[in-house]
Amino acid sequence: MAGSSPTAHDTVTGAGLERPSRPGWRGRDRESRAIAELLSAAESGRGGVLLVEGRSGVGKSRLLAEAVDVAAGHGFLLARGVADESSRLRPLEPLMSALRESAHTLRAVRSEIHQDPADLRLWLLERLQARLEERVARGPMLVVLDDLHWADPTALLALRSLVPELASYPLVWILSRTTGGDDPGDAERLFDVLAGEGATRIELRPLDRAATAEVAIDVLGAEPDPALLALADEAGGAPYVLTELFEGLLDEGAVERAGGRARLISHQVPQRVQTIVCRRLGKLCASTRHLLEVAAVLGRSFPVDDLAEMLGEPAGALLPELEEAQTAGVVTPDGGLLAFRHHLMWRAVVEGLPLPVRLALHRQAGEMLLARGGSAIPAAGHLMRYTRPGDTKALVALDQAVQEVLSSSPQTAAELAARAVELTAATDPNRFDRSVTTVYALTAGGRLAEAAELARTALGQALRPEQVARLRYELAYALLLAGRSTDAIAEAERALAEKGISSELRGQAEHVLFRALYFTLDHARGRERAEAVVAHPERHSHAVLAGAHMLLINVRWMSGRAAEALAHSREAVRVAASGPIRARHAHPALPLGAVLTNLRLLDEAETVLRAADEEITALGHTAHAPSPALFRARLRLAADRLDDAAAEARAGLAMADELGVHAFVLVGIAVLAVVAVRRGDLDTAARQAERHDSLYCEGQGVMYARMWSSWIMATVAEARGDLDRALRIARPYYTDPLKRRWLLLAETNAAAWLVRTALAAGDRPSAEVIAATAAELAATNPDFPFLTAAAEHAHGILHRDAGPVARAAACTHLGGWSRASIAEDLGVLLADQDADRTAAIDALDQALDGYQRGGALRDVARVRARLRNLGVRRRHWTSAERPDRGWDSLTSTERKVTALVAQGLTNPQIADQMFVSAHTVKFHLRQVFRKLGIASRFELARLAAEHHPEATRPGP
């Protein structure tokens, strides 16, 4: 740790941490300081992220190696992984190797969850996070991941999640990628996101002339003369090439050193630095060069056994050539493998092979790996790029590799499957199955537009009716997940119209059809079909029956019968849970959670959404992963927990963006808009409205989301003073009875707002329609008293009658913000009518208190202004007032989180204890850090022990 003494080759940086002084480090003082500062902060309990990028040969790997040396000298736990070209076919390879996990982890996860889910990514992320938390709890840790431009999509997705999730631990991440390729790829997007969240980003640039001279001094032991530096300029400032150049000059005796100066003395010095590697290889005997050329085809690092088999020799027979290559500095040991010393050297060897020879060697390597049996993934890396069309044996291997990686990295599976389709002849009977697999993999990986395009392309081939129906089902499912429910309905109906399709496929298409009709609220097209299914449940699969009940939720809801809608929703959950896994793919617990939220049954909604979240992870339905957070965001909003609502919305939107799934993103955006309006941040609300409108116009979002979010956007427009726009957006709720009933059942505050807004525009008939519908819904649904309160509230505003508004204000089934809104309207009515000034002030005081408790600062300001007009001045806060900073600024929830952190619990464990989501815990933890001016769990535990030592002790 910090007290350890430096080794002989260490020098001390300004941050107090030592770093080695080796060739290639020179000229990197800024980078070394950044590393030293991060490691020093970790010793104090704080984490950090350093992103290193630059062109090949510029010194990234050397910089990372030096960081590892420094951290090791200070007792850090270390985890180092590196990606290479074959890593894109091995899910999570750099992370798994860094944490010393292996392929058996995938089997262990499947064994743990007792089933074979479609997508293991969520489980793997949880497993990796738990592993890291276990290790970093023992002390500061450094995780170094090199060459992430080669990493597979699941590894990059994992980093996108793990880095921010573990930010409060003494965990330092150093991530590198090579730039300069034609396609920036997912690694650049990861770096952009992490940099936006506060990571330090460094681009390694070529060394300047002064730094080049320092490298020359390190290698040559003398100061270079101008001619030598001029030659060094051809290295382009790349530390690796510079080192190779100077060492090569020494080896050839081309440099004379005298009086502390080094000068060129040989006219045989190569004119261009690009020849350095070739010169080094040229010194080797022919058999060693041949060995290295074969080895290079196996990859930058390679097992000696594989090389021996490729050469048809026992491993022992290769010792002379391997020793020569190692002595020459071409290869070096790397754990149980040998590796080319640098990427540039490996690439030079590979690219020096004639293309036909290279293809033949890749072919040989692929066949060798296939012949061993076991995983087809290693062979696939050779075969997918170097196989000729129609090669049956290679295509079978690609098929096997697709199935191996499909559950853990569907993006990788899609890449393999797409390549297999390219290599399959149009007349090959296997082409259809490979096309379907590719569509499925693209869908699972969130690449929904590509999945739809490929499905449509495949439909242009000559296919049997069953095959056409299968492709249309896959297309409909991809469109459904993309939020394009109307298009999904069309494709599902076309699938069902095909003759002679199997009952299983018919059930799958009906299932998607019901879900799409549910999302569009277009129950007229499916009501008869759904009711026929429900009437004869024994004739249908669990999946179809669950889908029918889901559609009937909306049928009953838009008819104004809330209890029947709730019954169908609960029945859909029961049917799905009692059937096979396929029946649970619709996750009817999500709409049940929404219905319960609408009906103010918030505790049950919390339980249901928590179970839905767990089920989505357990079944591997990653495409649904954002939905629980987005539904919880609305639940938190209904409970007046603005901070928690915003935290869930942001988490859900980030996940939806990462996975490319947008069915419910409008809900999250609308929640953020409401939170911004209530807090008085109308600029942020406007930005959310613009974001919403852009996606809305693109057809994003299922109708449930679009219906609720449109109403929210109308309230945002009204809050910003644009009454005309608010009325344009809200017009369907005044004119369409079905949409009006849907909204007035779903949103407690809608009736009063719609009446008030219509009256403000001078449109009393529209206001009367809203009030009449609210009264009708209250009469039809006597089991839900909040509907009666909403109807009386609307009636009182319409007729300027304080009596019904007062009765509405007494309803205990409403949320705090809703009660405050009613109290405000009551106070305004009483004040305007000069009825009872004291009663008006009391009502406004109740509104003020309710708004303050919910953090609705904009509403607080408006009510305080109303009170001032009555000659009454109120403070900004009541007895619940607290400072902005320091221990006393923490809320009760934040103190509970603090106590559990001090006991050593992780965020998921805290979430379990507090019965909230990990997103909410993370948000509160950030708030605590901000208020206390700290950035680590270590500092928080220390402060908690000082203030409340009894709360930091673990319970029994």
**Phi, psi (rounded to 5 degrees) for 146:** -105, 155
Q: Tell me, what DSSP letter sits at residue 139?
A: S
Distances (CA, A) of 298 to 102, 304, 410, 854: 20, 10, 25, 62
3-state secondary structure string, 725-770? HHHHHHHHHHHCHHHHHHHHHHCCCHHHHHHHHHHHCCCHHHHHHH
Strand, helix or coil at 50? strand
HSE-CB at 666 with a 13 A cutoff on CA atoms is: 25
Query: What is the rounded CA–CA span in Å between residue 699 and residue 448?
Result: 14
Q: Is 587 left (phi over 0), alpha (psi -120 to 50) or beta?
A: left
Q: How many angstroms from the chain centroid is the CA of residue 823?
A: 42
Closest C-alpha among 855, 895, 893 to residue 877: 855
Which of 42, 53, 117, 52 has the alpha carbon at shortest distance from 584? 117
Q: pTM of the entire structure? A: 0.72
Buried b (16+ CB within 10 A) or exposed e, 154-165: bbbbbbbbbbbb
Token look-up 């000229």 returns: 27
Half-sphere exposure of 902 (CA within 13 A, CB side): 24
Q: What's the pLDDT score for residue 752?
A: 97
d(Cα 147, Cα 332) in Å, to the nearest integer? 18
From 284, 253, 283, select the one nearest 267 (Cα to Cα): 253
Per-residue pLDDT at 536: 92
| C-alpha dihedral (294, 296, 302, 307), degrees to nearest 10 | 0
Residues 6+ apart with CB under 8 A from 544: 507, 510, 511, 514, 533
Q: Given phi > 0 = left and psi -120 to 50 = alpha, else beta, which region is 701?
A: left
- For residue 142, give both structure tokens: 């450094």
Distance, in Å, from the CA atom of 265 to the CA atom of 66, rounded to the nearest integer, reads 34
Question: What DSSP line would sit under 262-305, residue for residue?
Answer: EEE--TTS-SSGGGHHHHHHHTS-HHHHHHHHHHHHH-SEE-HH
pLDDT of residue 10: 31
Place of tokens 């009502």: 843
Tokens of 373: 């049996």
Work out the burial of residue 956: count CB atoms within 10 Å of its CB; fewer than 13 is exposed, 13-18 middle, 19 or more buried: exposed
Residue given tokens 């609220």 in the structure block: 521
Distances in whole angstroms, Cα of residue 405 to Cα of each of 86, 287, 933: 13, 38, 44
Q: How far is the C-alpha of 44 from the C-alpha of 892, rounded, in Å?
A: 27
**Residue closest to 294 by CA, chosen among 341, 357, 388, 387:** 357
Beta carbons of 19 and 144 less than 8 angstroms apart: no
The rounded distance, in Å, linking the Cα atoms of 22 and 11 is: 10
Asked whether 802 and 830 are in contact (CB, 8 A), the reply is: yes
Contact 713, 692 (CB under 8 A): yes
Distance CA 765, CA 755 (A): 10
DSSP assignment of 440-476 equals HHHHHTT-HHHHHHHHHHHTTS---HHHHHHHHHHHH
Sequence letter at residue 236 = G
Helix/strand/coil (H/E/C) assignment for every residue in 151-213: CCHHHHHHHHHHHHHCCCCCEEEEEEEECCCCCCHHHHHHHHHHHHCCCEEEECCCCCHHHHH
567 close to 557: Cβ distance less than 8 angstroms: no
Which of the residues in the chain have pLDDT under 50?
1-27, 110, 113-115, 117, 182, 267, 269-274, 878-880, 956
Nearest residue to 672 via CA among 654, 659, 699? 654
Nearest CA to 264 out of 227, 212, 220 is that of 227
827: Cβ contacts below 8 Å, ≥ 6 apart: 840, 841, 842, 843, 844, 846, 847, 863, 866
What pLDDT shows up at residue 825? Answer: 95
Q: For tokens 């001032």, what's the residue?
A: 868
The tokens describing 732, both together, are: 């369907």
Phi, psi torsion values for 656, nearest 5 degrees: -65, -40
CB atoms within 10 A of CB 538: 5
Instruction: Assess contact for 442 and 434: CB atoms under 8 A.
Output: no
Report the pLDDT value the prediction gives residue 904, as an integer from 0 to 100: 82
CA distance 269 to 261: 18
How many other CB atoms are there within 10 angstroms of residue 326's CB atom?
A: 14
Task: Count Cβ neighbours within 10 Å for each residue of 681-701 and write b for 16 or more, e otherwise.
Answer: bbeebbebbebbeebbeeebb
Say which residues have a Cβ less than 8 Å from residue 610's Cβ, sequence separation at least 6: 628, 915, 917
Q: Which of 431, 434, 516 is nearest to 473 (CA)?
A: 516
User: CA separation (Å) from 657 to 269, 650, 833?
Assistant: 54, 10, 52
Cα separation values, 863 from 748, 848, 851, 860, 873, Å: 21, 6, 9, 5, 10
Q: Residues for the chain: how many in total?
A: 956
CA terminus-to-terminus distance, the chain = 33
Q: Please give the pLDDT value at position 491.
A: 95
d(CA 666, CA 307): 55
pLDDT score, position 24: 45
Of 781, 807, 783, 812, which is closest to residue 793 (Cα–Cα)? 807
For the sheet with 77-82, list strands across it: 77-82, 141-146, 171-178, 48-54, 200-203
Closest-CA residue to 894 (of 872, 916, 923): 923
Name the residue among 817, 810, 802 with its Cα closest to residue 860.
817
Q: What is the pLDDT of residues 78-89, one digit of tens each?
A: 999 888 777 777
CA 853/CA 641 separation, integer angstroms:
9
Report the pLDDT value the prediction gives residue 114, as an integer from 0 to 100: 43
Q: How far apart are CA 152 and CA 96, in angstroms?
A: 12
Considering only CA atoms, give the Rg of the chain. 33
